Amino acid sequence: MKTDKFFTMKSIDMLLSKKIRIIFLFVTALCASGQADEPNSAAHDTSVKNILLAEYENESSSARIEPARLNSQFGIAVIFEGTGDLHYYAKPETAASPQFILTVKAKSDDFSFGEPIFPEWETFIDPEGKKVEVYVGNFTVFVPIPDISSPETSTGEIDVTISGQACTSKICLMPFEKSLQAEIDWSQRELWQQVSFKQSAAVKKPVEEAASARTLWFALGLAFLAGLALNIMPCVWPVLPLIVMRIVNQAKNSRSVSIALGLSFCIGILLFFAILAGVNIALQLIYGTVLQWGDQFRNPIFVSVMAILLVLLSLFMFGVFNITVPSAIASRQSTGKGYFSAVGMGLLAAVLSTPCSFGILAAAFAWAQSQPLGKSTLGIMFIGLGMALPYFVLTSVPGMLSRLPKPGRWMEIFKQGIGFILLIIAVKMITALPEARTSGVLYFAVVLSFCAWMWGTWIDFNTKPVKRWLVRIMAIALAGVAGWTFLSTGSSKLINWQSYDNTAIQKAIDANQPVLIKFTADWCFSCQVVEKSVYARKDIARLIEQKNVLAIKADTTEKHFPATIALQEVFNEPGVPVTMLLLPGPNPPIKWRGILFAEDLKKHLESLSDNTKQ
């Protein structure tokens, strides 16, 4: 029995040992399988690390790389994950600059890549109502791998560069460029995940890059020509031969010294433009995000200011008013000799040219503020090269001085011709504004031109200081009143105006709802004053909402409009501006003619009962 018992225990122990060995072998097999797949898993772990691309307040966007397949194509998927308001530009035509669109570039020593395939973009309505094509939220960009560099290659490193500009509905951030790295195993490509998305129309990058290069060279060419034109201005041309002859005389007939002094003089000119480029860089770096310089031409306020500035600069070119260099600077003359003196003379010559070249320099500087730093810096420096080139040529070949045209009226005509070019650009910018702002900017530009004319022609050097300051104060006050009248947005955002509709008016009266009708017209100046003095008041707008008053804008701009017919045939009023308050019941309408009725309207609105709210 004891033997049997021992045999039984031994059998059980052997049985358990066998089961343990089976379990051990099973676990070992699993571990071996896991170790066999370890390289691919490591590659996968490396690729799924998200890189933060952009972040602002609660909005953010990141990206990662994963090996993937798109239909029958092998490649890598750049997976973007972001919040719903942070977006990227998708089309060069609607981006602030072609360089700001979302770009994905992949490179590797082991693989070759095709053109990235982007998803179909979405349409974003910016704060000014313009449609912009964007990529937003979660989306995928696929980069195909059409070929492998070496058939023996199994795994390889990939470097992906993502660049662009991220924006929200509130602000556009500074342009970025981020790099992502990953390792992929080409032998496992049949196991790569399948991605699927609706593709956008193919964008031909080589064509875009060539067009961008052509645009850059065209801009630099214009900048160079603008610099050459500075030498033809009345402030510069007469003294150009004097400066050259002074440099030549210092050289004492040594051509090499003349060339070196001329080059030093040109360096002084370039130093002035380098200072301008430095100011441009500082403004973009310090204020680029806050003021949204990359996207400013989508802002109607900025476009309006730039258009008005161009109008003023054209008036400057016409000689309506002048901008002078302070006498302390203008009276300084370098009497020293040597290369440092020549550099100082060049810098001073560039400064002294600004009274005549201010229009060109201001327009160029405004353009530079809308461009990337590299392009804007090149543009400003090319203006300096254009201005400096004639000095270098003339100091190298002094005999050419005798061939220069004599100063004369042709220089003033040239300057005024540039004024007309600035006006054309200003008109182009004004026509790009929303329709509601166009007329206001045009009216203000005319009034501001009158103020500039007052400033420049009503006084001269012999005018008494009291009269001089009186004229200038009048000009500034008139410009301020015109700006308040024509440029302020009025009540468009304070009061929910409805278009004139007889049926809607009658329906409101039948429901015991008061109706306020504002008869106006686009050509009516007094109507615009009413808009600013009455309906731009927050207290009146608040009462209209609190008392549930139906606000009707009755447009009588054209004769056939329903509001025009009703004004004459129903309300027996000869013209605008007229405001009417229609109360429920048999009460006759309360009418206000003219512009000074804000307080009376407020009293009648306050007297309305709150129970009229539906």
pLDDT > 70: what percent of the chain? 70
Q: What is the pLDDT of residues 87-112, one digit of tens each?
A: 998 887 777 666 778 999 998 888 88
- 8 Å CB contact between 32 and 137: no
- 8 Å CB contact between 212 and 203: no
Query: Which ranges in the chain are annotated with CATH 3.40.30.10?
Result: 498-612
Residue 228: C-alpha distances to residues 238, 260, 384 (Å): 15, 21, 9
Average pLDDT estimate for 590-597: 87
User: Which strand (E) or helix (H) includes residue 163?
Assistant: strand 155-164
Kindly state the tokens that stand for 513: 């709802």
Tokens 């034109």, residue located: 229
- 8 Å CB contact between 74 and 189: yes
Question: Residue 454 and residue 486: Cα distance in Å, rounded?
Answer: 20
Residues in Cβ contact with 79 at an 8 Å cutoff, skipping those fewer than 6 apart: 63, 64, 65, 66, 138, 140
| For the chain, counts of helices (H) and of strands (E) | 18, 19
Q: Is 306 helix (H, G, I), strand (E, B) or coil?
A: helix
Residue 229 backbone phi and psi in degrees, to 5? -65, -25
Question: Residue 584 and residue 512: Cα distance in Å, rounded?
Answer: 5
Taking every pair of C-alpha atoms in the chain, what is the biggest distance, in angstroms?
141
Q: What is the pLDDT of residues 471-485, one digit of tens each?
A: 889 999 998 888 877
Question: Residue 395 and residue 611: Cα distance in Å, rounded?
Answer: 88
- 8 Å CB contact between 413 and 108: no
Q: What is the pLDDT of residues 390-431, one digit of tens each?
A: 888 877 776 665 665 666 676 677 777 777 877 887 887 788
Residue 65 backbone phi and psi in degrees, to 5? -115, 140
Strands 193-195 and 515-520, sheet pairing: unpaired
Strand arrangement, sheet containing 103-107:
103-107, 155-164, 176-185
- 8 Å CB contact between 607 and 543: no
Q: What is the pLDDT of residues 171-223, one digit of tens each?
A: 778 888 899 988 888 888 888 988 888 876 544 444 444 445 556 677 778 77
What confidence score (pLDDT) does residue 549 get? 92
Residue 70 has pLDDT above 70, yes or no: yes
Question: Residue 170 and residue 446: Cα distance in Å, rounded?
Answer: 33
Binning pLDDT at 50, 70 and 90, where does residue 115 land? confident
* Mean pLDDT of the chain, nearest integer: 75
- Say how far residue 180 (Cα) sits from the centre of its chain: 28
Question: Residue 213 and residue 203: Cα distance in Å, rounded?
Answer: 17
What confidence score (pLDDT) does residue 282 get? 78
Residue 317: C-alpha distances to residues 43, 310, 411, 419, 423 (Å): 65, 10, 11, 5, 10
Of residues 554 and 225, more confidently modeled: 554
Question: Residue 55 and residue 83: Cα distance in Å, rounded?
Answer: 10
Residue 342 backbone phi and psi in degrees, to 5? -65, -40
Range with lowest mean pLDDT among 115-129, 245-259, 352-366:
352-366
Q: Which one-letter DSSP state was computed for residue 521? A: -
What confidence score (pLDDT) does residue 450 get? 92
Residue 16: C-alpha distances to residues 10, 22, 137, 493 (Å): 10, 10, 57, 84
Alpha helices, DSSP H, located in 292-338: 300-318, 327-330
Strand arrangement, sheet containing 515-520:
498-499, 550-555, 515-520, 578-582, 590-593
pLDDT > 90: what percent of the chain? 13
Residues in Cβ contact with 555 at an 8 Å cutoff, skipping those fewer than 6 apart: 499, 500, 520, 521, 522, 561, 563
Range with lowest mean pLDDT among 317-326, 465-474, 570-579:
317-326
Q: What is the pLDDT of residues 558-588, one digit of tens each?
A: 888 889 988 888 888 888 889 999 988 778 8
Residue 578 backbone phi and psi in degrees, to 5? -140, 135
- 8 Å CB contact between 577 and 524: yes
Q: What is the pLDDT of residues 36-62, one digit of tens each?
A: 343 333 333 444 578 999 888 888 999
Residue 445: C-alpha distances to residues 178, 307, 308, 312, 321 (Å): 44, 9, 6, 8, 15
Average pLDDT estimate for 426-444: 78
Measure the CA angle with vertex 167, ends 163 and 173; round to 5°: 70
Range with lowest mean pLDDT among 77-81, 372-376, 421-425:
372-376
pTM over 0.75: no
User: Which strand (E) or helix (H) includes residue 134?
Assistant: strand 131-136
Query: Which ranges in the chain are annotated with CATH 2.60.40.1250?
Result: 45-201
Fold for the domain defined by 498-612: Glutaredoxin (3.40.30)
> How many other β-carbons are positioned within 10 Å of the β-carbon of residue 300?
20
What confidence score (pLDDT) does residue 405 get? 60
Residues paired with residue 78 on neighbouring β-strands, in sequence order: 65, 141
What confidence score (pLDDT) does residue 168 get? 85
Question: Residue 128 and residue 296: Cα distance in Å, rounded?
Answer: 12
Q: Is 188 helix (H, G, I), strand (E, B) or coil?
A: helix
Fold for the domain defined by 45-201: Immunoglobulin-like (2.60.40)
Q: Is 181 helix (H, G, I), strand (E, B) or coil?
A: strand
Q: What is the pLDDT of residues 125-148, one digit of tens each?
A: 776 667 788 999 999 999 998 866
Average pLDDT estimate for 19-26: 45
Residues in Cβ contact with 254 at an 8 Å cutoff, skipping those fewer than 6 apart: none
Q: Is 362 helix (H, G, I), strand (E, B) or coil?
A: helix
> How many other β-carbons are positioned within 10 Å of the β-carbon of residue 498?
14
Nearest to 549 by CA among 490, 598, 502, 509: 509
